[in-house]
A and B are shown apart, each in its own frame.
Chain A
Amino acid sequence: MHDLVSFLPLVITCTGALLLMLYAVCPKAEQEKASLMSMGFFAVAFFAQLLVVCTVSRPLFPETFNGMLGVSGFTNAACLIVYACGFFTTLSSHTYFRENHFATVEFYSLLLFSAVGMVLLSMARELITAFIALEIMSLAIYVLVGFNRASSRSTEAIFKYLILGAFSGAFFCMGTAMIYGAAGSTRFDSIAEWLAFNPATTPLMLGGAFFLLITIFFKISAFPFHAWVLDVYDGSSNPITGFMATALKTAVFAMIANFLALSGNLHDSWITGLFWIAVFTMFGGNLIAIGQDNVKRMIAASGIVHSGYLLIALVAINSEYFSGAVIAYYLAAYSVATLGMFAALSWLGGEGEKRVTFDDFKGLAKRQPLAAATIAVFLLSMAGIPPTAGFMGKFYIITSAISAGQIALGVLGIISSIISMWYYLRLIVSMYFHDAEEDFIVDGSSLASISTVALAVAVFAIGLFPLVL
Chain B
Amino acid sequence: MEHTVNYLVCIPLLPLAGAFVLGMMHMLTCKNPLPEKLYSFLAMLGPLGSLIFTVIIFSTLREMPAESRYLTQNMFTWFSAGDLHVDMGLFADPLSTLFLIFVTFIGSLIHIYSIGYMAGEENYGKYFAYFNLFLGSMLILVLGNGPVVMFIGWEGVGLCSYLLISFYTKDRDNVLAGNKAFIVNRVGDLGFVLGVAVLFWGLHSALGGAGFDYLNIKAGASTLTAGTGLAVCLLLFIGATGKSAQFPLYVWLPDAMAGPTPVSALIHAATMVTAGIYMVARFSFLYASYPFAGDVVAWVGILTALLAAIIGCFQRDIKKILAYSTVSQLGYMFAGVGVAAYSAGIFHVFTHSFFKALLFLGAGSVIYALHHEQDIWKMGGLKKKMPLTWIVMVIGALALAGFPPFAGFFSKDEILFMALAKGHWMIWLIGVCVAGLTAFYSFRLIFLVFHGKPRDQKSYDNAHEPPPVMTVPLIILAVGATFAGFFNLPAFFSGDSMVSTWLAPSLLEHHSEASRVTEGVAMVLSIAVVLLGIFYAWKKFASKPEDKPLTGFAKWGEDKFYVDEFYNAFIVQPWIAFGRTISNFIEPNIVDLPVKGTTWLYGVLGMLFKVFQAGYVRVYAIYMVIGLSLMSIFLSQSL
C-alpha spacing A228/B639, complex, angstroms: 31
Which of A15-23, A76-84, A159-167, A431-439 forms part of the interface with chain B? A159-167
Docked complex Cα distance between A106 and B568 (Å):
76
Contact A288-B606, Cβ < 8 Å, known A210-B632, A228-B620: yes
Instruction: Produce 1/0 per residue, B625-636, CB < 8 A to A.
Output: 011100110110
A210 to B627 Cα, complex, angstroms: 12
CB neighbours (8 Å) of A290 from chain B are: 602-603, 605-606, 609
With A210-B631, A273-B631 as contacts: A203 and B639 at CB distance below 8 Å: yes
Q: Is B607 an interface residue (CB 8 A)?
A: yes
Residues in B whose Cβ lies below 8 Å from that of A292: 610
A14 to B612, CA, bound (A): 40
Q: How far is the CA of A167 from the CA of B626 in the complex (A)?
A: 14
How many of chain A's residues touch chain B, expressed as a range? 20 to 34
Beyond A163-B621, A164-B620, A167-B624, is A201–B639 a contact (Cβ under 8 Å)? yes
B613 is an interface residue with CB less than 8 A from chain A: yes
- Return the CB mask of A342-380 against B: 1 if under 8 Å, else 0: 000000000000000000000000000000000000000
* Residue of chain B at shortest CB distance from A214: B628
* B638 on interface, CB distance cutoff 8 Å: yes
Cβ-neighbour of B624 out of A159, A207, A218 (below 8 A): A218
Contact of A135 with B by CB under 8 A: no
Question: Which of A206, A225, A231, A287 is the one whose CB lies under 8 Å from B615?
Answer: A231
B637, closest chain A residue (CB): A272
Our pick among A160, A203, A287 for the contact of B602 (Cβ within 8 Å) is A287
B514 contacts the other chain (Cβ, under 8 Å)?
Answer: no
Task: Evaluate contact between B638 and A269: CB separation under 8 angstroms.
Answer: yes
- The answer to whether B619 has its CB under 8 Å from any CB of chain A is yes
Neighbouring B residues of A287 by C-beta, 8 Å: 602, 605-606, 608-609
* Chain B interface residue number, banded: 20 to 34
Check A201–B638 contact: CB distance below 8 A. yes
Residue among A168, A223, A231, A289 with the most chain B CB within 10 A? A231
CA distance A201 to B623 in the complex (A): 26
Closest to B613 in A: A230
Measured CA separation A120–B615 after assembly (Å): 32
Asked whether A422 lies within 8 Å of B602 as measured between CB atoms, the reply is yes
Task: Please tell me if the beta carbons of B624 and A168 are within 8 angstroms of each other in the complex.
Answer: yes
Kindly identify which residue among A164, A214, A422 contacts B599, using a CB–CB cutoff of 8 Å: A422
Does B617 make an interface contact (CB < 8 A)? yes
Closest residue on chain B to residue A206 by CB atoms: B635
**What residues of chain A lie closer than 8 Å to B638, measured between beta carbons?**
201, 206, 269
Cα–Cα distance between A201 and B639 once the two chains are bound (Å): 6
A159 to B621, CA, bound (A): 13
Complex-state Cα separation, A364 to B635, whole angstroms: 50
Name the residue on B nearest A200 (C-beta): B638
A225 near B627: Cβ-Cβ < 8 Å = yes
Q: Residue of A at shortest CB range from B611? A: A291
Q: Is the C-beta of A404 less than 8 angstroms from some C-beta in chain B?
A: no
B30 to chain A, nearest CB (A): 15
B631 with A227: CB separation less than 8 A: no
Known contacts A287-B606, A288-B606; A160 and B639 CB within 8 A of each other = no
Q: Is the CB of B632 within 8 A of A160?
A: no
Given A273-B634, A292-B610, A422-B599, A225:B624 Cβ within 8 A: yes
By the criterion CB–CB under 8 Å, are B613 and A227 in contact? Answer: yes
Most buried by A among B605, B627, B634: B627
Bound-complex Cα distance A290 to B610 (A): 9
- Which of B610, B626, B632 has the most chain A CB within a 10 Å cutoff? B610
Q: Which A residues between 185 and 221 are near B, CB-CB below 8 angstroms?
A: 201, 203, 206-207, 210, 214, 218
Q: Name the A residues within 8 Å of B627 (CB-CB).
A: 214, 223-225
A48 to B39, CA, bound (A): 52
Q: Can you name the residue of chain A whose Cβ is closest to the Cβ of B605?
A: A287
Q: Which residues of A contact B632 (CB under 8 A)?
A: 210
Complex-state Cα separation, A164 to B615, whole angstroms: 13
Smallest CB gap from A230: residue in B: B613
Residue of A nearest to B615 (CB): A231
Bound complex: CA A284 to CA B608 (Å) = 11
Find A227's partner among B605, B606, B608, B612 (CB 8 Å cutoff).
B612
Given A164-B620, A292-B610, 14 additional A-B pairs, CB 8 A: A163-B617, A201-B638, A203-B639, A214-B627, A227-B612, A227-B619, A284-B609, A287-B609, A288-B610, A290-B602, A290-B603, A290-B606, A291-B609, A291-B610
Can you name 7 A-B pairs with beta carbons within 8 Å?
Answer: A164-B620, A164-B621, A167-B621, A201-B638, A206-B639, A228-B617, A228-B620
Instruction: Spell out A's residues near B (CB within 8 Å).
Output: 159-160, 163-164, 167-168, 201, 203, 206-207, 210, 214, 218, 223-225, 227-228, 230-231, 269, 273, 284, 286-292, 419, 422
Identify the 8 closest CB pairs spanning chains A and B, nearest first.
A290-B606, A291-B610, A291-B606, A224-B627, A227-B620, A287-B609, A160-B617, A287-B606
